[in-house]
Structure 1
Amino acid sequence: MTYFDDLPKKFNEVTIYDYEEIDTSEFLAAAEGVKDLFNLFGSSAFIPVQNDMAGNIKKIRAAQEKLGPDHGKSLQKIVLSEVKENKKDATQGLLWLTRGLRFTLEGMKRNITHKDEEVNKSFTKAYTETLAKYHNMFVRPVFKLAMAACPYRKDLYAKLGSPLELVEEQLADWLEGLEKCVVIIEKFLDSGNYAKGL
């Protein structure tokens, strides 16, 4: 058994409709898996990271429930509904969740590519390239503490399951699906300037 076998939904299983609309329920279920991934890091230093993701997932889910099955079916429909209502809660949640997912994606992708690199180095580089520019002087130390608390590479991969070859194969597929979703959301938010002022 591996970590990926237990996930209720993997990013490479998330439905993408016409016009690159991402299914809300499936995406949020997959995002919960990223939040839970940090449990394997085995440090309370990651609680702020997990709480941030959980809070953003909650904002999007609340908007989805309010809009109902049709208008809340895709992430894009939720953002467009908020534009009409002059609201930003779920849009802000999606923006920050996507930033957190991009950070996780880059950290894990770098680590699986650089097999001789420790997890803390991969995630420190990922943080510098992704989230650091959005964080102020009070938030950056919290994330730096989390980076320092990353487990050793061998310990993390052992927790992800065995055999290692299967874990690496499943991780690569999961990252491919995650990247596809993240790129679609980033393009969508940038194209309409929905993230302006958030």
Structure 2
Amino acid sequence: MAPYLETVRSFADVDTTNGVNTVQFLEASEGLVGLFDLLGSAAFSVVQNDLKGNITKVRARYDATPTLSDTLEKLVENEKGEKKRTATEGLMWLLRGQSFTCKALQNAQANPKEELSVAFNDSYANTLKKFHNFVVKGIFSVAMKACPYRADFYAKLAADPAGGPAASDEKVTEQLNNWLNPLDAIVTRMQTFYEKGDYGKGL
């Protein structure tokens, strides 16, 4: 075995040459979901379940129309004329959840003396909060307070579940940056795509 980020598909390995490869993106997204297991708090189950549910919606569309959905852009385009745009809505929320997670961890990387709760709170305020009602905001507030200590989370990122030597702090920082930067690029690309095409209208 190896540290967590070496066991899942990296967003750096998602082909974006002619659009964002749907299958590869979903595989990498599942790795992001697993990251919340390392946070080790049941309070984050709401985030995990939301991500999982939206991955399922996008995958169902791909499975139903694979040739029309081999990139995320094509998937959204080809669902545009339909009455229910389940995958388009699911992808929109998946991207929002990914933006929240990505920005939180980028905050943590940029501010090594801050605890994770600060990084996640700041990210939430700048990403998901504006889309949530009072009840959901309360749920997320609880989740932020339940963030593990920074040192514990980074130790889990470094650990080898098979009992081998842990990765160095420098290695973990490098791996996490190499994982987050392409995720950020894909999220930004797709959110721009949604805005330009007005694909989120009515959802």
Question: TM-score, normalised on structure 1?
Answer: 0.96
Aligned partner of residue 84 in structure 1, secondary structure: coil
1:180 is the counterpart of 2:181: no
Aligned partner of residue 134 in structure 2, secondary structure: coil
1:117 is the counterpart of 2:110: no
- The aligned residue for residue 90 of structure 2 is 93
1:29 is the counterpart of 2:27: yes
Pairs within 5 Å for 1:1-198: 1-7=2-8, 9-18=9-18, 21-68=19-66, 70-161=67-158, 162-198=167-203
Amino acid corresponding to residue 192 of structure 2 in structure 1: K
Amino acid corresponding to residue 6 of structure 1 in structure 2: T
Counterpart CA distance in 2 for 1:85 and 1:51 is 26
Counterpart CA distance in 2 for 1:116 and 1:160 is 17
Aligned partner of residue 62 in structure 1, secondary structure: helix
- With over 3 angstroms needed to count, the CA separation of the structure-2 counterparts of 1:87 and 1:81, relative to structure 1, is farther
Aligned partner of residue 70 in structure 2, secondary structure: coil
Aligned partner of residue 22 in structure 1, secondary structure: coil
Amino acid corresponding to residue 55 of structure 1 in structure 2: G
Counterpart CA distance in 1 for 2:113 and 2:202 is 40
- 1:180 Cα offset (Å): 1.1
Counterpart CA distance in 2 for 1:193 and 1:44 is 35
Question: TM-score, normalised on structure 2?
Answer: 0.93
Amino acid corresponding to residue 129 of structure 1 in structure 2: N
Aligned partner of residue 96 in structure 1, secondary structure: helix
- 1:17 Cα offset (Å): 2.4
| Unaligned runs of at least 5 residues, structure 1 | none
Amino acid corresponding to residue 17 of structure 2 in structure 1: Y
- RMSD across aligned positions (CA): 0.8
Aligned partner of residue 80 in structure 2, secondary structure: helix
Q: CA deviation digits over 1:90-137, x for unaligned, max 9? A: 000010000000001110001001010000000001001110000000
Give identity over the alignment, percent: 41
